[in-house]
Amino acid sequence: MAHKILTSLLVRGLLSLCLLSSSFALLQANTVQVSIEGYVKNVHGFPEANAFVYIEGTFDETVTDSTGYFELSTESEMGAMIMLIAHKKDYLDAFEPITVNTAQLSVEVVFSQKIYDLDLVTVTAKKTIEKEFMQVQSIQTLEAILSSSDGNILSSMNTLPGAQQVGETGELSVRGGAGHETSFFVDGMLLRQYLSSSTPGTGGRMRFSADLFQSFQLNTGGYSAEYGQALSSILLMETKDMPTQFNEGFFISPFFLSSQTKTSLSKTASLESDVSYTNFSFISKLLKTDDPDKSLFSGPETIEGNLFFKKKLKDGGYFKSFLYGTKSKIGFADRDINRENGQIRYNLDNDNIYTTSSYKKQINGWNFLSAISLGYDREDIGIDSVAKAEDILHGSFFTGDKEWTGHAKVKAAKQFGNSILLNVGSESFYSDKRITYRSLKAHLQELIWASYVEGSIRLSRRANLSVGTRFEYSTLLKKSSFSPRVNMTVNLGNNYTLNVAGGEFYQTPQYRYLTVDPSTLKFQKARHAILGLEKRFSRDQYLKFDLFHKRYDQLIRFNGNDVESTGNGYTRGFEILWRDEESIRSVEYHVNYSLTDTKRNYLDYPIAAQPTFVSKHQGSLVVYKSFTKLSTLVGTSYTYQSGRPFYNPNRTDAEFLADRTKDFHIARVNIAYSFNLGDHSAILVVSLDNVIGNQQVYGYEYAALDPSFRREITPLYRRFLFVGGFLNLGTSKDSKKMKEILRNR
């Protein structure tokens, strides 16, 4: 039955792709391939780097280099008029009409004035609706790498206001939400198993490398109706478009070896690959863990790889296909707190596959996209309890799960005049999950059908309004949800912008709670209300303040042996962010503070209490400094979090979760040095995690037989030093990425 449903989902998605492709082919006219090159400048004649350049009504796009230069190609009829548009943050979009009278065109585009010089709010055809929302924290690839010492994307998100990484799980808690309440999307497609497998208390990592993506957008609340199944927030990860450089390279460190290639198959197609092997066994034998009760006796050992195919089609469409796979093993030993000299050993084995393909095309002013993704994850954990001294087996059992997931999506967007942007779409999510715990087994299947419509309307010269709604139906819960959402942005003048957002958001409960009759439960529900104010002092300097309130309903709650949808809770607080990229030469920095007041009465909580995954106070300082003459980039970050609640069995119900761990203080330093080895370029990376060297305490574990005895739950290593180097086998002349970054800063 599961495979029949999955096959049906795949057939529907593939039929959508085929029907769209056939329709597009019928609409083709006599066209030619037109190459356009030129420069983007400001009104003073200075080049504008990193400006977004595209052809109106198409998906043909590019970004200017450090000199303002760009080049792109498009399909057009001879004699036709096309509109070239340049877009850059804080500038009015520049429009340049072009008559196609030759296959080679040169043009100069000039930004006339900055947005913060005008009392005007604009809507552009290229912006998607969610990017109109102010509740978006964007982070570029380089920033993600330099603000985390372990290359983990989620560690970088931890430095953004409202986001807290939960150390013992690796999950991301956003504005008081649990980790599973944040959903991850790759080019708009849902990614369910985003964390690597890990043993208890060690925390997983983001599976994908930051280098695959050109940007990350953390929507902290009030997000677009295009996205569902996320009670608190969404992280949008946008992959890079067609590469401008084609080369091969190796990344080498004491921990892993990675091989990367970017190959040009033709002028309109490329193939990228990345294969890596990680084995921590040798290092783990040399390094002693800070907690003598914990040790790695096997691995972690991982082999993973990905293939990325990109193709610009003759019909003007753009096709992307991405395939990722990994296999990992970990052997981890921990003390058994309930038995003298006892030890628990975990043997974890994980396989993970994820693939997504998308096709986008413009027809009669409509931007169409059809996409499909598949995922597979198998996790087996063998748990043995032994007497450490005698090595006598006291018991063992097996736990694990296996899950197939699918997502098919079709959407269309169109700009009407200068004032309205319409976005409509339909999608389906599929999951087939088998859960095993000791001798207990469960098999769950869910198919969610969803449709949405959303419009962004320019009300006046000062105000934009986005209104949308989303409908979902779950075959597992046998229930539907209806989610109205609204977002309004008003320019108050004097470079002040006001944002008001709100709506309803639904999510299926975690499958571990659905082993009873799922039809007796409901979608979990959250209502968001957000008020934001932003002050722009210049293009690269601004202050942002947000107030937010969330109300949770229909959360999972235990009533004896029964599971009910009667839990509730709230989250309220504020965030303040200051970002400055111009006051100090070659230095960019941002500092933020968040206050999160939250309580929940759900699961087995006897009273409403602050959950264990939330810190009430959090602040971060992130600084990037470039040393051009030394070809070096330095990134530093410091994050503070107040102590989190933990369960103390010696407390009464009235004192439930009243205890707090000590505060968190985490400082990181990252250095990237660029140099040449003969005709090849290379980058040396050095990172140090937890420079201060203080012990991070995630919570406490209490003995079941003697609750007066407890021990701390801490990371395996107090500090961690990473050293690695990337060797580009392309010529140094062709590999200028690092140098361009330094010049741009």
Q: Does the structure show a pLDDT above 70 at 1? A: no
Residue 128 has pLDDT above 80, yes or no: no
* Per-residue model confidence (pLDDT) at position 498: 94
Looking at every residue in the chain, the average pLDDT score rounds to: 83
Q: Does an H or E element contain 201, and which?
A: none
Residue 318 has φ and ψ, to the nearest 5°, of: -135, 125
Least confident of 27-36, 622-631, 688-697: 27-36
Q: 13's torsion region: left (phi>0), alpha (psi -120 to 50) or beta? A: alpha
- Show the tokens assigned to 660: 């707090």
Rounded CA-CA distance 378/197 in Å is: 10
Identify the three-state secondary structure at position 517: coil
Is residue 594 pLDDT above 60, yes or no?
Answer: yes
Q: Indicate the SS3 state at residue 165.
A: strand
Closest CA to 343 of 379, 309, 394: 394
Q: Is residue 611 over pLDDT 80?
A: yes
pLDDT, residue 387, reads 66
CA 538, CA 109: separation in Å to the nearest integer?
A: 22
Structure tokens given for 603: 């699961």
Spatial CB neighbours of 372, under 8 Å, sequence gap ≥ 6: 10, 13, 14, 16, 17, 189, 356, 357, 358, 406, 407, 408, 409
The fraction of the chain above a pLDDT of 70, given in percent, is 86
Query: Side chain identity at 373, as an amino acid letter?
Result: S
pLDDT band at residue 735, thresholds of 50, 70 and 90? Answer: very low
Label the pairing between strands 32-42 and 104-111: parallel
Instruction: Look at residue 497 and tell me whether its pLDDT is greater than 60.
Output: yes
The type of residue at 613 is F
pLDDT band at 660 (very low <50, low <70, confident <90, very high): very high
Q: Is the pLDDT higher at 47 or at 403?
A: 403
Q: What is the pLDDT of residue 608?
A: 97
Q: What is the DSSP string of 376-398?
A: EEEEEEEEEEEETTTTEEEEEEE
Q: Among 137-141, 355-359, 538-542, 715-719, where is mean pLDDT lowest?
A: 137-141
Q: Taking the C-alpha atoms of 6, 12, 14 and 15 in order, what is their torsion angle to the nearest 10 degrees?
A: 160
Tell me the pLDDT band of 150, cut-offs 50, 70 and 90: low
Q: What is the 3-state secondary structure (H, E, C) of 6-58?
A: HHHHHHHHHHHHHHHHHHHHHCCCCCEEEEEEEEEEECCCCECCCCEEEECCC
Q: What's the whole-number mean pLDDT along residues 602-616?
A: 96
Q: What is the identity of the amino acid at 72?
A: L
Mean pLDDT (whole number) for 507-522: 88
Least trusted range by pLDDT, from 107-121, 331-345, 645-659: 107-121
How far is residue 335 from each of residues 455, 706, 718, measured CA to CA in Å?
Answer: 56, 16, 18
CA pair distance 267, 261, nearest whole angstrom: 17
Region 136-744: CATH code: 2.40.170.20
Out of 47-56, 118-127, 295-304, 342-351, least confident range: 118-127
pLDDT of residue 597: 97
Task: State whether residue 645 is helix, strand or coil.
Answer: strand
> 712-728 b/e with 16+ CB inside 10 Å = b?
bbbbbbbeeebebbbeb
Q: What are phi and psi of 657, to 5 degrees?
A: 55, 35
pLDDT at 530: 96
pLDDT score recorded for residue 393:
64
Q: What is the dihedral of CA 268, 271, 272, 276, to 10 degrees?
A: 180
pLDDT score recorded for residue 487: 93
Q: Note the pLDDT tens digit of each residue in 570-590.
A: 999 999 999 998 888 888 899
pLDDT over 70 at 135, yes or no? no
CA distance 727 to 676: 9
3-state secondary structure 402-467: EEEEEEEEEEEEEEECCCEEEEEEEEEEEEEEEEEECCEEEEEEEEEEEEEEEEEEECCCCEEEEE
> Could you give the residue ranges of the DSSP H alpha helices within 120-196?
141-146, 153-157
Q: What is the pLDDT of residue 437?
A: 81
What is the structure's pLDDT at 130?
31
pLDDT of residue 138: 54
CA distances from 380 to 31, 357, 400, 564 (A): 55, 29, 4, 29
**Which pLDDT value is given to residue 619?**
95
CB 524 within 8 A of CB 561: no
Residue 332 in this model has a pLDDT that exceeds 70? yes
> Where does the pLDDT of residue 79 fall: very low under 50, low under 70, confident under 90, or very high at 90 and above?
confident
Q: How big is the chain by its Cα radius of gyration, in Å?
A: 26
Mean pLDDT score, 331-360? 89
Does the pLDDT at position 126 exceed 50?
no
Of 35-44, 213-222, 272-281, which has the strongest mean pLDDT?
A: 272-281
Sheet with 189-191, edge to edge strand ranges: 136-140, 213-219, 233-239, 182-186, 189-191
CB 276 within 8 A of CB 261: no
Residue 721 has pLDDT above 60, yes or no: yes
Confidence at residue 136, expressed as pLDDT on a 0 to 100 scale: 59
Strand ranges of the sheet holding 81-87, from the earlier edge strand across to the other edge: 61-63, 52-55, 81-87, 94-99
pLDDT mean over 58-68? 78
The region of weakest confidence among 6-20, 195-209, 272-286, 594-608 is 6-20
pLDDT, one tens digit per residue, over 15-35 is 444 433 434 333 344 567 888
> Locate tokens 């929940």: which residue?
600
Task: Give 472's contacts (C-beta < 8 A, 6+ positions apart).
Answer: 228, 229, 448, 449, 450, 480, 481, 483, 506, 523
More confident residue, 288 or 523: 523
CA distance 567 to 23: 48
Other C-beta atoms closer than 10 Å to the C-beta of 384 total 15
Nearest to 452 by CA among 484, 488, 406, 477: 484
Tell me the CA distances in angstroms from 542 to 80, 419, 495, one per residue in order: 42, 27, 10
pTM exceeds 0.85 = no
- Number of other CB atoms surrounding residue 37 within 10 Å: 14
Q: Which residue type occupies 332?
A: F
With 70 as the cut, is the pLDDT of residue 275 above it? yes
- Residues 462, 488 contacting (CB under 8 angstroms): no
Say whether pLDDT at 9 is over 70.
Answer: no
At residue 328, does pLDDT exceed 50? yes
Cβ-in-10-Å burial (0-12, 13-18, 19+) of 393 comes to exposed
Query: Domain 2-120 classified CATH 2.60.40.1120?
Result: yes
Break the chain into its structural domains and give their ranges. Answer: 2-120, 136-744
CA 659 to chain centre: 32
Higher-scoring residue by pLDDT: 417, 30: 417
pLDDT category at 120 given cuts 50, 70, 90 is: very low
Q: What is the per-residue pLDDT for 124? A: 27
pLDDT of residue 528: 97
More confident: 693 or 60? 693
- Each residue's pLDDT tens digit, 548-577: 999 999 999 998 888 999 999 999 999 999
Highest mean pLDDT among 120-134, 467-481, 527-541: 467-481
* Arithmetic mean of pLDDT, 392-396: 66
